[in-house]
Copies of this chain bind each other. A is one copy, B any other.
Amino acid sequence: MPSAPADAKHYVGVDFGGTKIYAGVFTESLQCIGTARISTKPARGAAGVIERVARCVTDAVDECDLEMKQVKGIGIGAPGAVDSDKGKVIVAPNLEWRDVPLKKELERHLNLPAFIENDCNLSMLGVFVAELDSKPQDAVGIFIGTGIGGGIVLRGELFTGAGHTAGEIGHMVLQADNGPLCGCGNKGCFEALASRTAIFRRIQDAVRDGQKTILTEMLGHSLDDMRSGDLRRAIRRGDKFVKKVVEDAARYAGIAVANVINILNPEVVVLGGGIVEALGEHIMPIIKETSLEHALEGTAAHVTIQASKLADDAGIVGGAVLARKLSR
């Protein structure tokens, strides 16, 4: 592993998925002083994507008028099962990656220490360190976007389980009989009931069956370019159908939160991700109410359920936290 430059005082956090790579430069006190974004281009394969990640990091550093030697280390979240000890992505289905030595390759490109973690774990680490002022011992993050992922902090530390894959909260089955098909091949997963993909699918299916909605006026009948913000605008304009679909998803999310509370009895459950960012005001009251209804007597007495304010930045903040912790 390369050693950190002697006088370096900055950290870079990186979050990437199948669509985009996002990097942020942070000070020792976790203030973000600049970011960069580029597309992932997963079709170029692991080597091509890692080259783009390295470029995004140098772009972000340059954006801040800094040089790479002023960076002490890099923390990066990858969308899949990550062996952080070995520095490898075990499997990342969206990228079609298997056994990719991300840490070693990034260090070779950038000549800086790099540390890797699952993207949702890293987001939770960011939320935990930079946002949760109460400094709870046990906290769970649930990130609802295109898919749904989770990150778990127990006894003050990220918990990743025996095989580094703990926190796959999106694939908790909530509707065992007759649940909708999930991308993982099972039926009734939380992700298949309450992710952006699930919400969009339900709307598109209903429109195909003749359902009227303002969304088709806004976006055309195929609804191809629909985004989370469009749902918010449709609800604000009084679209009861969209409101119902979003509220149904929020109820499933509330049941998922209750399941997590019943199993882990954490102090804090934080919700984040694009859906929570765009629709928080509509869905958070329903999520809270449903989860308190479904948590067993006593289990919810100590729990705070809140939306993350870090939104899309949770991942890069978490990356900086990881790099700050591990860079020497």
Contact = CB atoms under 8 A, between A and B. Distances in A.
Interface of A: 81, 90-91, 93, 136-138, 150, 152, 154-155, 159-169, 171-178, 184, 186, 193, 251-252, 255, 258-260, 262-267, 293-294, 296-299, 301-303
Contacts of A176: 174-175, 193, 251-252, 255
13 contacts: A152-B264, A154-B154, A160-B265, A161-B266, A162-B266, A163-B302, A164-B265, A167-B263, A172-B263, A173-B294, A175-B176, A177-B178, A184-B297
Contact of A155 (B155, B165, B171, B174): B155
Contact of A263 (B258, B260, B265): B260
A265 B163 contact: yes
A193 B136 CA distance: 34
B186 A294 contact: yes
Does more than half of chain A's interface fall in helix, strand or loop, or is it mixed?
loop
Contacts of A296: 165, 168, 171, 184
A161 B294 CA distance: 18
Contacts of A260: 263
Given A173-B174, A175-B175, A150 B263 contact: yes
Contacts of A193: 176
Nearest to A294: B186
Contacts of A162: 136-138, 265-267, 302-303
Contacts of A159: 154, 264
A262 B138 contact: no
Given A168-B263, A169-B263, A186-B294, 17 more contacts: A81-B298, A93-B297, A152-B264, A154-B155, A155-B155, A159-B264, A161-B264, A161-B299, A163-B265, A163-B301, A163-B302, A165-B265, A173-B255, A173-B294, A174-B176, A176-B252, A177-B178
A184 B169 CA distance: 23
A166 B93 contact: no
Contacts of A168: 262-263, 265, 296, 299
A263 B166 contact: yes
A163 B298 contact: yes
B262 A298 contact: no
A251 B186 CA distance: 13
A164 B252 CA distance: 25
Contacts of A137: 162
A185 to B, nearest CB: 8
A173 B91 contact: no
A294 B185 CA distance: 8
Nearest to A81: B298
A138 B154 contact: no
A296 B187 CA distance: 12
A186 B300 CA distance: 15
